[in-house]
Chain A
Amino acid sequence: MDSHALDAIIARYDVPDGRLLGILSEVQEQEGYIPHDVLVMLSEKLGVRLSRLYSLVTFYSFFSLQPVGEHMITVCMGTACHVKGAEMVLSALGKHLGIETGMAQDGKFAVTTEDNKFTVTIARCFGACSMAPVLSVDGNLYGYATPENLPAILAEFGWREHES
């Protein structure tokens, strides 16, 4: 295959769409969420319609349009975790942090505490079903979570009982 033929293949894949998710996820990584003005700026820089970017950002549960807290807690609500009582873990978490977790059924759900310390969201499966129910805090996985052992996990991230 000569250089020309290779260029032809590359050209077919040289569409802005192919790199959108990568760019968006790096923005999310650096900012913690996708700020409104950044999305507008990105649309101008890439020449991609804002409606297209907004569709992507609202489609994937990975992206957040709302600012998130210092620590990100994700509670797994997959089948195994659900069976092992993830619902109870989530509502206990809400109680400890003083936030409403009632509407946690949508993947786009994320609630942040008033002091901006914690954001709680859910995921459908971590692939760690053997340790169900699982939750992750800032990417660290915690297995066999129970309403009882939550305070110990939260304490690692600076949470105190009286704060809630």
Chain B
Amino acid sequence: MIYGSAGKDHVPGKPVRVTINGRQYRAEEGETVLSVAIREGIPIPHLCHEESLDPYGACRLCFVEAGKHGKREMVTACTLRVAEGLEVTTDTPTVTKHRAILLELYLAEAPKSEVIKEMAARYGVMKTRFLKKMETDDPLGGKCVLCGLCVRACTEIMGAGAIGFINRGPYTEVNTPFLEPSADCYGCGACVKVCPTHAIVMEDSGSERVMKSWSGTRVPLAQCDCCGRYYAPKELAARTLSALDPQLERELAGLCPSCRGKQIAEREILARQGGAGNHA
């Protein structure tokens, strides 16, 4: 299987009650406060959270005040597991103040990101006092907040490990080793999908997918035998098919999902008509 923890069978935990902003909610032991909040529609800002990956606590935006029996502390909601009687407040003045400063820092880190600008504006932060990162040839277009989701999706979910953190401190960036096109990249686009600030640029051009942010890595696309459309990265399509349905006939395996669907439906109809005809 390509997928990690997300694909495992879910075993429900012990039911617990947790109080968020004065209201009681049902939750399962082992769930995080952020997961419960997302499910219940309680807004807690976050950047580095991804349901299919383990809690990471990198972006610090989901800070809440939480505790039991009146004893409270600031914790990130994404790493805080619910427990019976836990009380959480998502926006105390202290929390709001911290988030505003974090967002001001993020405005400096990713000055071109509209997502960050919008988030910051919600906390009344319109400009930053910190030195803005302004690189003209940044492959991530000044939008990366270094949350690490793309690196983790690539490594932990896809098992490709095509990208990683490079350098450290203020020079940290995410890219392919040696800033060269990567042979490990499947072109799956998981990085693009998980990126909270839409910083990663991926483009399909003819028979190739170009990972513009990842040193121009090029991945060949599979062409549908029927409609001629390029529908998925070649190697990834083959791997996925062999993992999900190794018995799939050659004839069907070379088709794009919509042609494959049509083909199967047509065969089904023909078989039924044929069957009906035989009986008549």
Contact = CB atoms under 8 A, between A and B. Distances in A.
Interface of A: 36, 39, 49-55, 58-59, 106, 108
B162 to A, nearest CB: 6
Given A36-B178, A49-B155, A49-B184, A54 B164 contact: yes
B162 A108 contact: no
Given A49-B155, A49-B161, A59-B165, A54 B177 contact: yes
Contact of A59 (B161, B163, B168): B168
A52 B171 contact: no
B76 interface: no
B134 interface: no
Contacts of A58: 166-168
B197 interface: no
Nearest to B154: A51
Contact of A54 (B155, B168, B171, B178): B178
Listed from nearest, the 10 A-B pairs whose CB atoms lie closest are A49-B161, A51-B164, A54-B177, A55-B164, A50-B177, A58-B166, A58-B167, A59-B168, A55-B165, A51-B161
Contact of B184 (A39, A51, A55, A59): A51
23 contacts: A39-B177, A49-B155, A50-B184, A51-B151, A51-B155, A51-B162, A51-B163, A51-B164, A51-B176, A51-B177, A51-B184, A52-B155, A52-B161, A53-B177, A54-B164, A54-B177, A58-B166, A58-B168, A59-B165, A59-B167, A59-B168, A106-B171, A108-B167
Given A49-B155, A49-B164, 14 more contacts: A51-B151, A51-B155, A51-B164, A51-B176, A51-B184, A52-B164, A53-B177, A54-B164, A54-B166, A54-B178, A55-B165, A58-B166, A59-B165, A59-B167
A54 B177 CA distance: 6
Contacts of A108: 167, 171
Contacts of B178: 36, 54
A52 B155 CA distance: 10
A98 to B, nearest CB: 26
A contact face: mostly helix, strand, loop, or mixed = helix
A33 to B, nearest CB: 14
A49 B159 CA distance: 10
A50 B182 CA distance: 9
Contacts of B184: 49-51
Chain B interface size, under 10 / 10 to 19 / 20 to 34 / 35 or more: 10 to 19
Interface string B57-74: 000000000000000000
A58 B174 CA distance: 12
Contacts of B163: 51
A128 B13 CA distance: 56
Nearest to B167: A58
Contacts of A53: 177
A53 B163 CA distance: 11
A37 to B, nearest CB: 11
B171 to A, nearest CB: 6
B161 A55 contact: no
A146 B166 CA distance: 35
A108 B167 CA distance: 8
B187 to A, nearest CB: 15
Interface string B146-174: 00000100010000011111111001000
Contacts of A59: 165, 167-168
Interface in B35-72: none
A49 B164 CA distance: 10
Contacts of B162: 49, 51
A50 to B, nearest CB: 5
Contacts of A55: 164-166
Contacts of B168: 58-59
Contacts of A106: 171
A49 B176 CA distance: 11
